[in-house]
A and B are shown apart, each in its own frame.
Chain A
Amino acid sequence: MSELRELSPGRLAWLRFRRHRLAMIAAGVLVVLYLLAMFCEFMSPYTPQQRNARAINAPPMDIRFFDAEGQFHLRPFVYDLELTINPDTWMREYEENTSIAYPIRFFARGEPYEFWGLFEADRHLFSVDPDGSGYIHWFGTDSLGRDMYSRVLYGARVSLSIGVVGVGLTLFLGVLLGGFAGYLGGMFDSAVQRMTEVLQSIPTLPLWMALSAALPAAWSPITTYFGVTIILSLFGWTTLARQVRGRFLAMREEDFVIAARLIGANDTRVIFRHMLPSFTSHIITTATLAVPAMILGETALSFLGIGLRAPVVSWGVLLQQAQNYQVIVMTPWLLLPGAFIVITVIAFNLLGDGLRDAADPYSSLREQ
């Protein structure tokens, strides 16, 4: 009995969250994805612009433990792919040459890269045959012979971070505007409310498109990236602002808020010191659920060719390059980034679901 009483709210939330098994799995998936994205230079065997003229539109390669004779090898390997262009069909045909196997080496040297723009390195998590005659493309290659796995990882860095950075901005705007609207009320409140209504009534896609089209084409890739992020978050804050405002309205009259005011705390201190912490968990949940919307927003814009542009690699850009009939018929593996988007979005939604439950540890008791 006394043990139970000693549990902190954080601990309670964690216990509750752990009971949501799907959310736990989703959290795991997201951690892996974000790690892959953060360390993509190291995690990928190649750089995103590196071409392999001997593997144009090559299908995903099989990573094997058993060789052609059925023998087991502890070290996984890939077989050499032999490219022939069929004289009748002009198809690039790749055939495994089982007499040449390239064992996969971990922490091998490969194409040099600049890690986070900080220092030069050339170690990759895995690679084959660093002297260059063998290659591993286990997600296949695109029409210029670039490794899809590496491109998906580099794309993840952009797409996943745009979600987080964008949501950060959204949070900032939403909490600031929603908080003051709820706390101050009056004119400011009505102004923010009307603005929210207007913004929510405009169909988002055309609006995004209009704004993206206004991004100067001469902008460097990195400025475009921030431009797109700002555009996405400029329209994402409205829902959050509403929720925050509602909470503030309800909380304004609570005893501890009145107490703080009576002591003489100013508005900013009351809002950020006393009121906000009491529903941080709620904000985190909302933010988590907003991330996939951001990711999808970036993807949609880039897919339409008005968001990020090559040579920047993002999942949207990758899909944009795959958006034609030829790809579906000839090189379906170029659609893999789409699978990553689906997985990420589902994972974020499940995680948000779990977090929502965890933020209110007693909810299940009430439900039961």
Chain B
Amino acid sequence: MKKILLPILACLVLGLPSSLRDVRAESARVITVMSHDSLNISKEVVAEFEKTNHVTIRFLKAGDAGAALNKAILSKRNPLADIFFGVDNTFLSRALDADIFIPYASPLLAEVHDELKIDPSNRMLPVDFGDVCLNYDKKWFAKKGISPPKTLEDLTKPAYKGLTVVENPATSSPGLAFLLATIGKFGQEGYLEYWKKLKDNDVLVTNGWEEAYWGQFSAASDGDRPIVVSYATSPPAEVYFSKEPLKEAPTAAILSPGSSFRQIEFVGILKGTKKLDLAKKLIDFMLDRKFQEDMPLQMFVFPVNKSAILPEVFRKHSKVANYMNRVTLDQISANREKWINEWRKLVLR
């Protein structure tokens, strides 16, 4: 027995310093950023902020977008962080209603596209955006000699029967965004009819993006569905993360009018922070060019700053939808649950 315990104890003792590191960091000059799991930043960019402001940034990742926000709301009395990043426009009303953020009219907001500033109280400031839309497998359509779909209506045509995979809006954020796109396009009266046709055309529903993209999408896996709901930035990501250099993206995004939904991600200063000035500085930094130009290749999103220059792989392989969401924020917060439930009753039963 002793022989087992000794190595275990040794490991525990050796492991202790790493856990103490956290405790020590707390006492120094530290600013804490809480976010969802997809946050990504270059080392160099973090280092720049830390050096100029003599501060260490501590990151906390708290699950997917919904779970992270809920944890921030639940820890309202004694916040876990100074700044929260990663509330998107489908969750915005929940964040604002919970009243966990402090207003901050950053001077950098002047640099931001006007249509993205959708919180007039400036408690939530836009940082990035991405268009949720259909992607298709170029090779598959070329091989079959079928022209790829161009609009949402195309998906209900017999030629595209059994080709599409979408995510469940009840469990996935691109899934919800796509449902909102169809509501924007066909209206509250017409969207269920559209989904009925889609269901009759053998649409496949998965619970999450990973399962749709890695499990069913023919361009990325063993799956046999050449059309998937993903992002307009997925084609450049396919090029950037390819095994060998590619001249052309293997997939393409469909961005015809009304066929996509723009997800905007926001950052805010959490109520109860003891480092207000530092938090403001960090928010300014996140809206400034350095950070904004770093984001595209780290998180595969578009910058909100008008003067930010896109990396080459984005300029070559990505497009941006040139229209705004047709569903308003108020409509989303009022009907979200109702829409999802109606959708579930129709499509999943």
Chains A and B belong together in one complex: no
The chain A residues found within 8 Å of chain B, CB to CB, are: none
